[in-house]
Amino acid sequence: MRLTIVGHLKGQLTAATRIAMDRGAAVTHAESVDQALRILRAGRGADLIMIDVALDVGELVQALEGERFHVPVVACGVDNDARAAVAAIRAGAKEYIPLPPDPELIAAVLAAVADDSRDMVFRDPSMVSLVQLATQIAASSASVLITGESGCGKEMLARHVHAKSPRAKAPFVSVNCAAIPEQLLESELFGHEKGAFTGASARRIGKFEEASGGTLLLDEISEMDVRLQAKLLRALQERVIDRVGGGKPVPVDIRVIATSNRILAEEVRKGTFREDLLYRLNVVNLKIPPLRERPADVLALATHFASKYARINGFPPRPLSAEARGELARARFAGNVRELENTIHRAVLLASGPEIGVEAIRTPDGAPIAAQGPAARAVETAEQVTRSFVGRTLADVERDLIFDTLGHTRGNRTHAANILGISIRTLRNKLNQYDDEGFEVPPPQVGVAAA
């Protein structure tokens, strides 16, 4: 994790720096707000900024917002200066750390605010094989496309690929293409020269240059405008970028990992995604199954999150009760790992006994998860399925149903046709059509006849 500390390095702030470095942070120092901004503009990057409350915290927060640097700010100061702490939080700081520094408190802030201590937790065979594949291809420089539903862990897997690659000690830089307005994303990716547009008061290095030598994650790339996709394609092919307002190409050395919760082949047919860019990105595809298809992962992740949030909140560790584990195993978790994590975090806060009981496992609206009996869960599941069809064409739904059925029959066409209630000839004609349209038709698995 990259930490920038703003303020004069004297005594207690020096001790905080040493603690952060001992916890694995790469620390950069700036004596003033202006110097901190120059560091960020130069592309040295930061995942977290700690600033002495003796400086103007509000000035830093406003400057970061004005120049679109998305970096959390934590204030620090002497522990008896309550007024300064309140002022710092009101000015936009996410947390306040009293000085002299406490090692565990700094470790918790680094983990909670910068969220850099995320672990890959998996037990399900489908995830075991996927992570093995990710580890295998990590050593290459090939572009990787990670697909899967929202909240299933795409960024986690991207970080795993980076950590297992020869670029592990270089920066890992993430850009959320869906969160940045279209007119600003080009500058965010490629940087700009001073005066390139209104508000460009100084040269700024973009994420491509910031990630040079390391890995650039383009999160939810399907949200990127087609015009910008053309510039991205050139950067991937030629390994050079053009800053906005610049006249000289800048070479970059990066590995690109992209994620999407959409089927990009369908976006290509709609005309919202470039086919040549898809081919360039999709050298290796890592498809993460949703949590509902990874039953062995649910309890492993729940146990991990229970331990994590007990530690962060200063609570004694509590195991999940047998009844709570049973309810978690039956839940659908439409929001995948992200929903499960929030559920367990909530349960840690609500639990009062020696175990996390089923009464602490609640939905976001506060209803006990146990109140959702089999009938209620069946109704909810049916509603979720129905909602998932809205906005999709009949042809899309039919194709997915055929592919899912083939998955259950391990590719056996005759069995799939019987389940679907159609003739084997109709099924084969459909599969030939999908193959002609560029879809990957599930093949028969080893030892299974196509019939």
How confident is the model over 112-137, as pLDDT tens digits?
654 544 568 999 999 999 999 999 99
| Residue that is written with structure tokens 């002497």 in the block | 78
Confidence of residue 41 (pLDDT cuts 50, 70, 90): confident
Task: Identify whether 445 is part of a domain.
Answer: no
384 vs 227 pLDDT, higher one:
227
Q: How far apart are the first and last CA of the chain?
A: 54
Whether residues 360 and 272 share a domain: the answer is: no
CB-based contact 29:39 (threshold 8 Å): no
16 vs 400 pLDDT, higher one:
400
Interior angle at CA 326, CA 325 and CA 328, nearest 5: 65
Whether residues 296 and 344 share a domain: the answer is: yes
170-192 in b/e form (b: 16+ CB < 10 A) is: bbbbbbbbeebeeeebbbbbbbb
DSSP structural state of residue 85 = H
Confidence of residue 365 (pLDDT cuts 50, 70, 90): confident
**Average pLDDT, stretch 81-95?**
85
Whether residues 135 and 283 share a domain: the answer is: yes
Whether residues 144 and 20 share a domain: the answer is: no
Confidence of residue 102 (pLDDT cuts 50, 70, 90): confident
How confident is the model over 425-443, as pLDDT tens digits?
889 889 989 888 888 888 8
Whether residues 320 and 376 share a domain: the answer is: yes
Residue 133, domain CATH: 3.40.50.300
CB-based contact 239:251 (threshold 8 Å): yes
What is the reported pLDDT for 137?
96
Residue 322, domain CATH: 1.10.8.60
pLDDT over 70 percentage in the chain: 90
Task: Identify whether 119 is part of a domain.
Answer: no
How many CA atoms lie less than 13 Å away from 437 in the CB half-sphere? 16
Tokens of 243: 């800053």
Q: Is the pLDDT of residue 274 over 90?
A: yes
- Helix, strand, coil percent values for the chain (each to nearest 5): 50, 15, 35
100 vs 76 pLDDT, higher one:
76
Q: What are phi and psi of 219, to 5 degrees?
A: -80, 135
Element (H, E) at 382: helix 374-389
Q: Is the pLDDT of residue 95 over 80?
A: yes
Beta bridge partners of 131: none
How confident is the model over 368-402, as pLDDT tens digits?
776 555 544 454 455 555 555 656 788 888 888 89
- How many other CB atoms sit within 10 Å of the CB of residue 244? 18
Task: Identify whether 281 is part of a domain.
Answer: yes
How many domains are there within the chain? 4
Task: Identify whether 209 is part of a domain.
Answer: yes
Whether residues 234 and 144 share a domain: the answer is: yes
Whether residues 174 and 234 share a domain: the answer is: yes
Task: Identify whether 450 is part of a domain.
Answer: no
Q: Which of 53, 60, 73, 48 is nearest to 12 (CA)?
A: 53
Please tell me whether the overall predicted TM-score, pTM, comes out greater than 0.75 for this model: no
Q: Is the pLDDT of residue 73 over 80?
A: yes
Whether residues 259 and 297 share a domain: the answer is: no
Average pLDDT score over the chain? 85
Three-state secondary structure readout of 263-291? CHHHHHHHCCCCHHHHHHHCCEEEECCCH
Q: Which of 106, 116, 163, 113 is nearest to 138 (CA)?
A: 163
Domain end call among 72, 95, 114: 114
CB-based contact 336:375 (threshold 8 Å): no
Cα–Cα distance, 47 to 24 (Å, whole number) = 13
What is the reported pLDDT for 211?
92
Q: In sequence order, which ranges of 25-124 are alpha helices (DSSP H)? A: 33-41, 57-66, 82-90, 103-114
Whether residues 180 and 131 share a domain: the answer is: yes
Q: Which domain holds residue 307?
A: 291-386
What is the reported pLDDT for 425?
86
Confidence of residue 314 (pLDDT cuts 50, 70, 90): confident
Burial of 47 (0-12, 13-18, 19+ CB in 10 A): buried
